[in-house]
Amino acid sequence: MAELLLDDPVAAGFEIVHERPHSFYPEFFRKGDLKDQTHYCPGCGHGIAHKLVAEAIDELGLQDRTILISPVGCSVFAYYYLDTGNVQAAHGRAPAVATGVKRAHPESIVVSYQGDGDLAAIGMAEILHAANRGENITVFFINNAIYGMTGGQMAPTTLLGQKSTTTPYGRDHYNDGYPVKVCELLATLEAPVYLERVALGNAKQINAALRAIRKALRYQTERAGFSLVEILSPCPTIWKLDPVAAQKRVREVLVPAFPLGVYRDRGAEIPKGETLPPRPLPAPPPPLDAIPGLLDIDEQTPDPPAARPAQADLRIRVAGFGGQGVLMLGEVLAEAGLQLGLEVSWLPSYGPEMRSGTSNCHVRISSQEVDSPLVARPNVLLALNEPSLRKFLPTVEVGGWVLYNHHQLPADIAVPEGIHLLPLACSELADSLGETRAGNIVMLGALLAATDGLPIEAIHRALALCVKSARWLEIDRRALATGQQAAREALSNRSQEVRREIQ
Amino acid sequence: MSPTTETSTGGKPDKGYVTVNTEQCKGCGLCVEACVPRVLRLAPHLNRFGYHPAQYLGHGCSGCGLCFHACPEPGGLVVYKRPSMAAAA
C-alpha cells in the first residue's frame, strides 16, 4: 500500500488546499514526543473545534490581534496550541476576564473558549452578565453534556435520563433539574448580537460549525457586540463510545435535545464590509486631586478647636426605631470626634427588620486608638424608644449616662445605681419645632448639656458635613439648641429638688 | 511499481490527494467516516504511540477537505488539489 503513495504530492503537480492552520504553534509546548499532537483523546471534539477556530482566525487574518481566554476543563491547555495571545482564567470566569481584556484592548479580538461545566455551571453568572452587557467578545461554548476532565459527572447540560457518575440512575429532573439550554437562555437577553448552535456530528455539521465560528469572529471585527457559538461536541472517552459512535451520538442524541440553529443574528443588519463605531468609552476617571471635591471633603480640615479634650473615651450606643435617625446621629457624633482630631469608629448594626423595626449603632470617640468598633459596655446610651432602653440599659457601665426619649421612665424600669439618667421627650420637642424627625438632634443637644465631652463647635462642623440640605441644617441647629436648653433646665430642676430633699 | 495518481475509472487524473501524518494520528477514524469517495482507511499496523493511523488508499481523492475538518489533530492530514481544480474550488 505505502509504496503507492507519493513522497511529494506537490512535485507531482498538486497544490496544498488544507493544512495545519498557521494559528497553531508549529510545535506544541509539551514534553518530548508529544510536541506534535494535542493532549486530547482520539476523536475529541475539542481538537476539531480548535482547528475550526484556528482556520477561521487564519482566514480572517486575525492571528496577531486575537487574545484567547482558555477555561478550566479539558481545554485548559488551549494556550499550548493556539499561537495567539493567551490568558487562562479561573473556573467559569473566562467571560469576565474577556471583558477586562477587551475593554483594555478594544482593537483586539477577544475569544472566550469554554466547556459546558465551565460556562453553564460555575460560570453561569459570568456568561449571563457578559452577554447582558453586550461585551464585544466572541464565546465558543463546547457542549458535550458531561464533565469530561473530572471523569464524567453530571453537567448542567446533561440530558434527562443520562447516566453519569453523579446520576448513576440517570438524570432525574425532580432531583437534578433539566438540561440548561444556553442559546435559548441568552436569547432572552436584549444585548447579544449573534447566537447559534452548531454540532460536530458529521462533515456537513462541521462545515456549518466553521461558518458560524467565522461569522462570530467577523462580527467582532465589525464591533457588532456579543456573540456565542454553542458547539455540540463528542466526548468519546467519557461517553464510553468509539470516536465514530460518539460522533453518531452527537447527531442522533444531542442534536434532538439541543436543536441546532440561529437563535439571534443582528449582525446581519450591518451592511457588508462596514464596521460599527467603537463603543463609547466610559468617562475617564477623575484626576486624583479632584477626588476630595467629589467626596465633599475638599475644604481644608480646620485646626481642632481649642477645647479638644485631652482625654476622651466615649463608648456610645444609639438605638431606636428605623427612621428616627439613629445611624445619622451616630454619624454626626463620629464626625464631631474627627473634627476634634480624635480617633473614632462608627458601626451601624441593622438587620432585615430595620425598616420600622429597631436599629442601633456603635460609636467610639477616643483619644487612644480604637481597639474595637463594638460597644458592648457603653458609657452613653441614647435610647430613642422604649425597646432600646429595655434592651441596652443593663449593658450601661456604672458612671455612664442614659438619655431616654420620654419625660419619664416606664414604671417597671429601675435605673441601676451609679447610672445618670436624663429622660427628655426629644421627639415632642422636635415636633414643636415643626419636624418630629429632628428628635435625634434634640437628644444630641441634651447629651451636650449633660456631659462636657464634646464641644458644641465640633458638633456644628459635623452637622454641616453630614447634613446636605440647607433647610435641614437650619432645623437641626435649632433642634440642637432646643435639646441643650431643655436638658439644662431639667438637670437644674433636678439638682434643686435634690437640694430641697437634703435640706 | 511507480506511484500513480491515475484512477482506475476512465484514466482521468485524480482531482485531489491526501497525506497522513502518521505520528500525529490517533487512529480515531473520523476522517475515514467523513471521506465521501471512501479512499481512507485505518492501517493494519500501529504507529509508535500505539494507534492504527489513517492511511490513503493511493487514488480516488477528490480533494474535498472533509477529512481535514473531521480530524481533531491540527497537523494530522494535508489535503491537496490539482491547480486548475484548486482555482475552481
DSSP string over A268-299: GGSPTT--PPPPPPPPPPPPGGGHHHHTT--S
The CA distances from residue A413 to A316, A422, A446, in Å, are 21, 14, 21
B19·A20 Cβ contact <8 A:
no
Give the angle subtended at the CA of A364 by the CAs of A363 and A368, to the nearest 5°: 165
**Looking at the partner chain, which of A9, A43, A54 has a beta carbon nearest the beta carbon of B19?**
A9
At B9, is the pLDDT very low, low, confident or very high (cuts 50, 70, 90)? very low
CATH classification number, A307-502, choose in 3.40.50.1000, 3.40.920.10, 3.40.50.300, 3.40.1160.10: 3.40.920.10
Delimit the domains of chain A by residue range: 18-269, 307-502
Q: Which residues of B touch A33 (CB under 8 A)?
A: 48-49
Window 444-473 of A: residues touching B by CB (8 A cutoff) are: none
Instruction: Give the per-residue pLDDT at A284.
Output: 87
From first to last of its 503 residues, chain A has per-residue pLDDT tens of 444 688 889 998 999 999 999 999 999 988 777 888 899 999 999 999 999 999 999 999 999 999 999 999 999 999 999 999 999 999 999 999 999 999 999 999 999 999 999 999 999 999 999 999 999 999 999 999 999 999 999 999 999 999 999 999 999 999 999 999 999 999 999 999 999 999 999 999 999 999 999 999 999 999 999 999 999 999 999 999 999 999 999 999 999 999 999 999 998 888 877 888 887 877 888 899 888 888 877 666 566 665 667 788 999 999 998 788 999 999 999 999 998 889 999 999 866 555 556 789 999 999 999 999 999 999 999 999 998 999 999 999 999 999 999 999 999 988 889 999 999 999 999 999 999 899 999 999 999 999 877 889 999 999 998 998 999 999 999 999 999 999 999 998 887 766 665 55
User: In B, which residues are within 8 Å of A51 by CB distance?
Assistant: 69, 71-72, 74
Judge: B33–A247 Cβ closer than 8 Å, yes or no.
Answer: yes
Contacts of B17 in chain A (CB under 8 A): 6, 9, 12, 14
Residue type, A38: T
- Using the predicted structure, report yes or no on whether residue B1 has a pLDDT greater than 70: no
Q: Give helix then strand counts, H and E, for chain B.
A: 3, 4
- The pLDDT value recorded for residue A357 is 66
Tell me the HSE value of A100 on the side-chain side, using a 13 A CA sphere: 8
Contact A42 B19 (CB under 8 A): no
Measured CA distances, A447 to A209, A345, A455 (Å)? 75, 18, 11
> Which CATH code, of 3.50.50.60, 3.40.50.880, 3.40.50.970, 3.40.50.11540, is assigned to A18-269?
3.40.50.970
* Interface check A203 vs B, CB under 8 A: yes
- Interface contact B86-A47, CB threshold 8 A: no
Is A1–B73 a contact, with Cβ atoms under 8 angstroms apart? no
Average of per-residue pLDDT across B66-73: 96
Which chain B residues in 61-80 lie under 8 Å from chain A, judged by CB atoms? Answer: 63, 65-66, 68-75, 77-80
- Candidates A8, A10, A15, partner chain B, best to mutate (most B CBs within 10 A): A15
pLDDT of residue A31: 79
Query: Phi/psi at B63 (nearest 5 deg)?
Result: 70, 25
- Residue B6, pLDDT score: 46
Look-up: residue for cell 505520528? B23
> Do A18 and B55 make contact, defined as CB atoms within 8 angstroms?
no
Please tell me if residue A236 touches chain B, with a CB cutoff of 8 Å. Answer: yes
| CB-CB under 8 Å, B26 with A4 | no
pLDDT at B8: 47
Query: Cβ A47–B70 below 8 Å, yes or no?
Result: no
Question: Quick one: pLDDT at residue A303?
Answer: 61
pLDDT score of A121: 96
- Angle (CA) A369-A373-A378 rounded to 5° is 100
Residues of B in contact with A47 (CB under 8 A): 71-74
pLDDT of residue A500: 64
| pLDDT confidence of residue A105 | 94
The nearest CA of chain B is from the CA of A129 a distance in Å of 32
CATH node for B16-88: 3.30.70.3270
Cβ-Cβ pairs closer than 8 A, A with B, add up to: 140
Single out the residue of A473, A478, A391 nearest to residue A429, CA to CA: A478
What pLDDT, in 10s, does the model give residues B51-68? 999 999 999 999 999 999
pLDDT of residue A305: 60
Distance from CA of B9 to the nearest CA of A (A): 17
What does the mean pLDDT of chain B come to? 86
Closest partner residue to A243 (CB to CB) among B24, B28, B68 is B28
Query: Does A201 contact B at CB distance below 8 Å?
Result: no
